[in-house]
């Protein structure tokens, strides 16, 4: 049976989806934008700062599921502009200093709320 994961430490879903779903020992984290959990507003700042907020939101959801970023096995990064790749990569990489997960990074035509970056993840709870 699937378990819905939800925490006020991360932004509420802005549509008909869950922050994450745990199926067995696998956690599927929905794409995280750089919303500030307390205000529901997108973080203003550099693409690196926005990426950091996406990762903080993801970490809060994983914590609620009993996981950490070390349990992440796959991520997907969606970028509005692939020219931001280097700055996003640097901010993202700070969260995975050793043994980073598998990853895909793609440019997309548009993201919700006209965001510049969105990151989703799959984690396996040890």
- Determine whether 105 is an active site residue: yes
C-alpha closest to that of 70 among 105, 27, 30: 27
How wide is the angle at C-alpha 111 spanned by C-alphas 43 and 20, nearest 5°? 80
> Given the structure tokens 């993202």, which residue do they identify?
92
Give dist(CA 124, CA 56) in Å, integer: 18
User: Which is the catalytic residue, given 60, 105, 111, 122?
Assistant: 105
Tokens of 9: 């430490």
Give catalytic residues, as residue numbers: 105
């Amino acid at each position: 049976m699937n378990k819905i994961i939800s925490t006020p430490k991360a932004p509420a879903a802005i549509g008909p989806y869950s922050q994450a779903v745990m199926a067995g020992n696998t956690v599927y984290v929905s794409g995280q934008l750089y919303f500030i959990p307390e205000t529901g507003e997108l973080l203003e700042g550099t693409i690196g700062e926005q990426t950091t907020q996406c990762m903080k939101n993801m970490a809060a959801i994983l914590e609620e599921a009993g996981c950490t970023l070390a349990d992440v096995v796959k991520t997907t990064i969606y970028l509005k502009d692939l020219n931001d790749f280097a700055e996003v990569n640097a901010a993202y990489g700070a969260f995975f200093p050793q043994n980073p997960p598998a990853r895909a990074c793609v440019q997309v035509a548009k993201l919700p709320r006209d965001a510049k970056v969105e990151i989703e993840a799959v984690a396996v709870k040890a």
